[in-house]
Structure 1
């Protein structure tokens, strides 16, 4: 009888693990993050970070250029953690205003739990990392959904500024007060004031005038397939003037 050939075992493809350089980089960022959380920004020196990571200071300069480069990497890691926390927040897909409130609560909760990291992420100078831009896009998406529902009272970019300002103000005010004086009603009041300022309780398209309808139509423009780019830009300019 012919002998059947023995099948050759199939090798499973394995994804390459992090390189030694990536591992070292993560170790340095983690050490800097721990120093930032325990001692504030002043504790994050190149010597202290190198000691905490079990390395020599030149390793930091080779990987990050200088201390500002290291702080940028720490801020990037912080934004990544923040975005992960936002994704775990309860979604409210059928309630755009409720979705915005959930996001506001997540921002404030993160800032109160990580004050030094939040100050680094949103302090001066601002660190416009990739994750920061992603977070800004998420906020603008939520605001556009409110506008598309006819519930946005102000311009989209002004709304984003108000959301950011009220969240930052809530965090800084809360942290500046002695613990016995911290009243959770402050956070609720600031959030509700933000909602009342940028949204309407009833669809804006039901109000007399063109502003509400213009905002709703302008928010829905990116999803349309009928107008060309030049036509869409011209209509967006007209709607911007009407919504103001």
Structure 2
């Protein structure tokens, strides 16, 4: 079997054992037995147990990321945020072992960063529509922290209120977005966020560097007002 094939077999075995572990630690000995390999082969591919866990978490999250990327927009970026929140929570509840390793132990790899990039991309669309009350990075931090907290709570057994996730979602979205239509009037702060986002990658050539710096500072102040 090729190097790639052996690595995939180990990941398949580790992912299956992790899914079936019910929170128990993943044993490298069990992974080796399930994959039909010796410990030196495992360490050759992953270095150590931490390297294996990092690879397994990324492997387990890849499907979710692919599904997120494949989603067609609803035409309403705020509704896309809702759908993204619900998909994130649903993934965590379906694959709690993977999710807890990624978000509950500080083991944040490339998959987590890719998930955050998807969130930022949607928030940039909300901002350009004049419907974001706060800067994109602030909104991403608020939504990410709230969504992860809710998901970890549901995984740990806090299922007393079935409306916990949707209520938290709507409270956070109300704090960071506005109901104004994309072509309608909006608040000064939302318009400032929209302009700052639109100019983030392309500063006006009619302004000097100093003037662009001053413009960004004014927009930042307005966005936080």
Counterpart among 111, 115, 130 of residue 150 in structure 1 = 130
2:96 maps to 1:115: yes
**Match for residue 35 of structure 1?**
17
Does 1:45 find its partner at 2:27? yes
Determine whether 1:199 maps to 2:177: yes
Distance 2:126 2:196 in 1: 12
Q: Say which of 55, 79, 85 aligns to 1:98.
A: 79
Post-superposition offset of 1:233: 6.1
Where does 1:62-141 land on structure 2 (aligned, <5 Å)? 62-92=44-74, 94-129=75-110, 131-141=111-121
Q: Give the TM-score, by structure 1 length.
A: 0.80
Q: Please, which runs of 5 or more residues in structure 2 have no aligned partner?
A: none
CA-atom RMSD, angstroms? 2.6
The residue aligned with 1:24 is: 6
CA distance in structure 2 between the aligned counterparts of 1:186 and 1:76, rounded to whole angstroms = 28
Instruction: Please report how far the alpha carbon of residue 171 of structure 1 lies from its aligned counterpart in structure 2 after TM superposition.
Output: 1.5
Q: Which moved more, 1:49-58 or 1:221-230?
A: 221-230
Matched residue count: 221
The unaligned stretches of length 5 or more in structure 1 are 1-18
TM-score, normalisation: structure 2: 0.86
In structure 1, which of residues 219, 228, 237 is the aligned counterpart of residue 197 of structure 2? 219
Contact 1:89 1:106 (8 Å CA) reproduced = no
Corresponding residue SS for 2:165: helix
Whole-Å separation in 2 of the counterparts to 1:38 and 1:197: 39
- Aligned-pair distance for 1:196? 0.7
Instruction: Single out whichever of 221-230 and 159-168 deviates more from structure 2.
Output: 221-230
